[in-house]
Structure 1
Amino acid sequence: MTALQTITDLDLKSLSNRRFHPSPVAWEDQVLYFLLLDRFSDGNEQGYRDNRGRPVRKGTTPRFAPADEGNAIGSAVDAAAWRDAGGRWCGGTLRGLTGKMGYLRRLGITAVWVSPLFRQVSFQSTYHGYGIQNFLEVDPHFGSRDDLREMVRVAHDNGIYVILDVILNHAGNVFAYDREPTPFTGDALYPVSGFRDGTGQPSLPFAPLDPATQPAAWPAGAVWPRELQAPESFTRKGFIRDWDRYLEYLDGDFFDLKDLHLGAGDADTFQPSPALLTLCEVYKYWIALTDLDGYRIDTVKHMGVGATRFFASTIHEFAQRLGKENFYLIGEITGGRVNAFDTLETTGLDAALGVDDVPLRLEDMVKGQADPAGYFDLFRNSLLVRKESHAWFRNRVVTMIDDHDQVCRGAKKERFCAGAPKWRTLALNALALNATTLGIPCVYYGTEQCFDGEGGDDRYLRECMFGGPFGAFRSRERHFFDETNPVYREFARILVIRKEQPALRRGRQYLREISGDGVNFGLPHEIGGELRSVVPWARIFDSEELVLAINTDPDQPRRAWVVVDGGLHRAGDRFGCLYSTDPAQLRHKTAVRQATAYLKAIELTVPAAGFIVYRPL
Structure 2
Amino acid sequence: MTRFTLLLCLLLSANLPAQAATVSRVEPENWWIGMKHRQVELLVHGDGIAALSPRLSHPGVRIVDVQATENPNYLFVTVDIGEDAAPGTFDLELLDGDTVAARHPWRIDAREPAPPRGFDASDAIYLVTPDRFANGDPGNDIVAGLKEAADRANPNGRHGGDIAGLRAHLDYIAGLGFTRLWPTPLLANDQPGYSYHGYAITDLYRIDPRFGSNDDYVALAREARAHGIGLIMDVVLNHIGSEHWWMHDLPSRDWINHGGRFAPNNHRRTTIQDPHAAPGDRAGFTDGWFVESMPDLNQRNPHLARYLIQNTLWWIESAGLAGIREDTFGYADADFLSAWAKAVMDEYPDFAMVGEEWSANPAIVAHWQRGKANASGHVPHMTSMMDFPVHIALRDALLRPKVWEGDWTPLYEALANDFLYPDPDALVVFAENHDSSRLLAHLDGDIHLWKLGMAYVATTRGLPQFYYGSEVLLRGPRERNDGELRADMPGGWAGDAANAFTGEGLSAQQRDAQDFVRRLFNWRKDTPTMHVGKLRHYAPVDGVYVYFRLDGDKAVMIALNRNDEDTALRLDRFADSLGRARAGTDALTGRRVALGDTLLLPAKTPLILELDTAP
TM-score using structure 1 length: 0.70
Tell me what 1:377 maps to. Answer: 413
Change (3 A) 1:544 1:477: closer
Write out per-residue CA displacement over residues 175-202 of structure 1, whole angstroms, 9 at most, x where no aligned residue.
Answer: 7xxxxxxxxxxxxxxxxxx966xxxxxx
Change (3 A) 1:466 1:616: closer
Superposed counterparts of 1:211-610, under 5 Å: 229-235=251-257, 236=259, 237-244=261-268, 245-256=281-292, 257-263=294-300, 273-318=302-347, 320=348, 325-335=349-359, 336-344=361-369, 345=372, 346-355=379-388, 357-367=389-399, 369=401, 370-383=406-419, 385=420, 392-395=423-426, 397-406=427-436, 414-418=437-441, 422-454=445-477, 456=479, 457-466=481-490, 478-481=498-501, 485-512=511-538, 523-525=540-542, 533-553=543-563, 555-563=564-572, 565-567=574-576, 573-580=581-588, 583=589, 586-591=591-596, 602-610=597-605
Tell me what 1:616 maps to. Answer: 611
Q: Secondary structure at the match of 2:311?
A: helix
Inter-partner Cα distance in structure 2 for 1:233 and 1:492: 47
Tell me what 1:10 maps to. Answer: 30
Change (3 A) 1:563 1:96: farther
Q: Secondary structure at the match of 1:611?
A: strand
Superposed counterparts of 1:147-186, under 5 Å: 147-174=216-243
Change (3 A) 1:298 1:96: same
Deviation at 1:466, TM superposition (A): 4.4
Change (3 A) 1:376 1:89: same
Change (3 A) 1:122 1:613: closer
Deviation at 1:496, TM superposition (A): 2.8
Q: Secondary structure at the match of 1:550?
A: strand
Amino acid at match of 1:262: Q
TM-score using structure 2 length: 0.71
Tell me what 1:410 maps to. Answer: none
Deviation at 1:299, TM superposition (A): 1.0
Q: Secondary structure at the match of 2:342?
A: helix
Change (3 A) 1:82 1:342: same
Higher Rg of the two aligned structures: 2
Inter-partner Cα distance in structure 2 for 1:139 and 1:166: 14
Tell me what 2:193 maps to. Answer: 124
Change (3 A) 1:578 1:420: closer
Matched-pair contact (CA < 8 Å) for 1:449–1:482 = no
Greater RCO, CA 8 A, separation 6+ = 1
Matched-pair contact (CA < 8 Å) for 1:42–1:466 = no
Deviation at 1:613, TM superposition (A): 1.8
Inter-partner Cα distance in structure 1 for 2:429 and 2:318: 29
Matched-pair contact (CA < 8 Å) for 1:546–1:616 = yes
Amino acid at match of 2:486: R
Deviation at 1:564, TM superposition (A): 5.6
Inter-partner Cα distance in structure 2 for 1:124 and 1:551: 45
Q: Secondary structure at the match of 2:568?
A: strand
Amino acid at match of 2:173: L
Inter-partner Cα distance in structure 2 for 1:155 and 1:281: 24
Inter-partner Cα distance in structure 1 for 2:134 and 2:207: 17
Deviation at 1:438, TM superposition (A): 1.3
Deviation at 1:380, TM superposition (A): 2.4
Gaps of 5+ in 2: 1-22, 34-107, 139-149, 269-280, 373-378, 504-509
Amino acid at match of 1:157: A
Deviation at 1:15, TM superposition (A): 4.2
Amino acid at match of 2:129: L
Change (3 A) 1:502 1:442: same
Inter-partner Cα distance in structure 2 for 1:564 and 1:33: 36
Inter-partner Cα distance in structure 2 for 1:280 and 1:241: 24
Matched-pair contact (CA < 8 Å) for 2:491–2:501 = no
Matched-pair contact (CA < 8 Å) for 1:367–1:552 = no
The sequence identity of aligned pairs, in percent, is: 22
Change (3 A) 1:329 1:365: same
Deviation at 1:510, TM superposition (A): 2.6
Tell me what 1:89 maps to. Answer: 158
Amino acid at match of 2:193: Q
Q: Secondary structure at the match of 2:178?
A: coil
Tell me what 1:43 maps to. Answer: 136
Matched-pair contact (CA < 8 Å) for 1:543–1:568 = no
Change (3 A) 1:485 1:16: farther
Gaps of 5+ in 1: 46-80, 176-193, 197-203, 208-228, 264-271, 407-413, 514-522, 526-532, 592-601
